[in-house]
Structure 1
Amino acid sequence: MKRKRKKIILKKISELVKVVDAEYVFWDTNELKKKTCMSWNTILGTFFYDPRFPKRKIGGKWYYPARETRTFLEQWILEQ
């Protein structure tokens, strides 16, 4: 009985995480800093200028496609 409840709870948590991740289409710089736990200077010095890093400047503000940025960051950290 406990195993079944645990499985249901884990499934629900997984579904909620997907919903939260789907809320953002783009990240701004503040969200990027928050998601990576890095300062802006660290981001600039590590991966910002990597040609694979997805970014778009609109007006004076940088935007990062959430899904592609997450995929890049997961790959980038494995390469370090």
Structure 2
Amino acid sequence: MLNVQIDEHAIKTLCRETIENLVKEVDAEYVYWDTAELKKRTCMSWNTIQENFFFDNRFLKRKVGGKWYFPAKETREFLTKWLQEQPRS
């Protein structure tokens, strides 16, 4: 008879590490986001973005031609900080 024991904690840790590495890989592919990506990442409409943080001086953005671009790393950091600053309901 064969008896197999699995360390649940070790398996969960390994899964979390693997998922974190995959997410970092995917995020590393983007140098900047465009408006569509910003809306997708925040789950907000363009109007909501403009009303809430678009005009915040800390929010980095550049308009190239007729299109807005946002540096991915800095935008992610800003959004995390911005959300923490929001009052809890």
The aligned length equals 80
> CA–CA distance in 2 between the matches of 1:75 and 1:8?
29
Q: Where does structure 1 lack aligned partners over 5 or more consecutive residues?
A: none
> CA–CA distance in 1 between the matches of 2:73 and 2:61?
12
Q: Secondary structure at the match of 1:24?
A: coil
Over the aligned positions, Cα root-mean-square deviation in angstroms equals: 0.9
Higher helix share: 1
Q: How does the TM-score come out when normalised to structure 2?
A: 0.85
Give 1:79 shift: 1.0
Partner of 1:58: 64
Amino acid at match of 1:40: W
Q: Where does structure 2 lack aligned partners over 5 or more consecutive residues?
A: 1-6
> CA–CA distance in 2 between the matches of 1:63 and 1:10?
31
Q: Work out which of the two has the higher radius of gyration on C-alpha atoms and give 1 or 2.
A: 2
Partner of 2:11: 5
Structure 1 position 31 matched with structure 2 position 37: yes
Identity %, equivalent residues: 61
Q: Which runs of 4+ in 1 moved over 4 A?
A: none
Q: How does the TM-score come out when normalised to structure 1?
A: 0.93
> CA–CA distance in 1 between the matches of 2:35 and 2:48?
13
